[in-house]
Amino acid sequence: MNVAVLVSGAGTIMEAMLAAGVPVAVVAADRPCRGLEVALAAGVPAVLCDRRDFGGFTKAFDRDAYCDALTVALLPFSVDLVAMAGFGTIVNASFHEAYERRILNTHPSLLPAFKGWHAVADALEAKATVTGCTVHVATLELDEGPILAQAVVPIHEGDTPEGLQERIKEVERKLYPQTILTALDRLEHNQPLVGSIGG
């Protein structure tokens, strides 16, 4: 089974995947980042599908052309499962069709609470006492896909968004690789991904 990991940043969650034995066949990024360097250092093929070639982060960004290019870039690696790990580009319907119900994402909250890009800050602003992380099947609707696993992270008095984010990442680095390995086992045995995997 081959996993493609999509990254945009430091790649620490991807490092955890490699350490846990996730069969990462390729790492792809939407911008130059440390994640690509980590992949190459680990002997994993690294692909830069740069947003700057498709309009960057402006209103001119051609999402459809970008997602087509990303799909083509992954083709040689016979990808069974796509794992988003801090990937900063929302993919379109054609990418979801290419990997139907086989794209996973991790989100820094206990979905359905605190969807969106500012989940950690939103939890603090709401004075929540707990948050956590959720591994789910990615869909076109942001943070709406079926939940595979969750883990709770308590919120402490005086927490900052940065400190809380790091504590959530510590949990993600364990939960996400475990969930991916279980998902791969299900795919290998032609079982549906949706259902309780753990948490």
State the catalytic residues: 107
Handedness of CA 174, 177, 181, 187 (dihedral sign): positive
Rg (CA), the chain: 16
3-state class percentages of the chain: helix first, strand second, coil last, to nearest 5: 40, 20, 40
Return the axis-axis angle of helices 12-20 and 161-188, rounded to nearest 10°.
Answer: 40
DSSP string, 153-184: EEPPTT--HHHHHHHHHHHHHHHHHHHHHHHH
The structure tokens listed for 1 are: 């089974």
Under a CB-based contact definition with an 8 Å cutoff, are residues 73 and 28 in contact?
A: yes
Q: Give residues with Cβ within 8 angstroms of 159, minimum separation 6.
A: 124
- Nearest-angstrom CA–CA distance, 83 and 184: 11
Q: Which amino acid is at 33?
A: C
